[in-house]
């Protein structure tokens, strides 16, 4: 009986946000843990940029956001401020229909990848919920967080 309850709860959470469960305060880890290798992937940004695991610089923040996710909408203004202050050190992975103005603002800061929920980039990072911000190490996850602020400096090991 417990297995059925847990399975139904997980199915309900995964069903929200177009296949990715939104973050709840104090909720679970929504991507691979720090130290976990990032899987191989290849994606093309909205401006034709080629994005791969090996091309990501140490300290780059990769943001995973979904248009159908209320917590994503709540963190978007802070992320836009962070991205504009850290041009070249952010990659935005968006699922769903985002406003053209949001995409344009993010394109000015770095590559924007549009993909379906649980797409290849999300799978490479072990993303299971949004919003999540992943700081890249040397081929691995250095840090993750569910929030970001303009002044954020995610804890990245040297």
Contact 75, 147 (CB under 8 A): yes
Give pLDDT, residue 155: 47
- Indicate whether 21 pLDDT > 80: no
pLDDT in tens, 85-137: 999 999 999 999 999 999 999 999 999 999 999 999 999 999 999 999 999 99
CA distance 94 to 152: 21
Q: How far is CA 114 from CA 25, 33, 106, 126, in A?
A: 26, 24, 12, 17
Give pLDDT, residue 15: 32
Mind listing the domains of the chain with CATH numbers?
Answer: 36-145 (3.40.30.10)
Would you tell me the crossing angle of helices 70-85 and 100-107 to the nearest 10 degrees? 30
Contact 52, 136 (CB under 8 A): no
């Amino acid at each position: 009986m417990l297995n059925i309850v847990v399975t139904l709860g997980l199915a309900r959470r995964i069903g929200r946000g177009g296949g990715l469960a939104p973050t709840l305060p104090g909720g679970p880890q929504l991507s691979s843990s720090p130290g976990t290798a990032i899987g191989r992937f290849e994606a093309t940004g909205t401006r034709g940029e080629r994005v791969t695991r090996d091309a990501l610089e140490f300290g780059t923040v990769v943001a995973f956001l979904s248009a159908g996710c209320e917590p994503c909408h709540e963190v978007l203004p802070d992320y836009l401020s962070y991205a504009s202050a850290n041009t070249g050190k952010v990659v935005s992975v968006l699922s769903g229909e985002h406003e053209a103005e949001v995409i344009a603002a993010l394109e000015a800061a770095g590559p924007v990848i549009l993909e379906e929920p649980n797409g290849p980039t999300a799978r490479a990072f072990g993303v299971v919920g949004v919003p999540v911000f992943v700081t890249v190490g040397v081929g691995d996850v250095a840090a993750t967080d569910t929030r970001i602020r303009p002044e954020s400096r995610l804890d990245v090991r040297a």
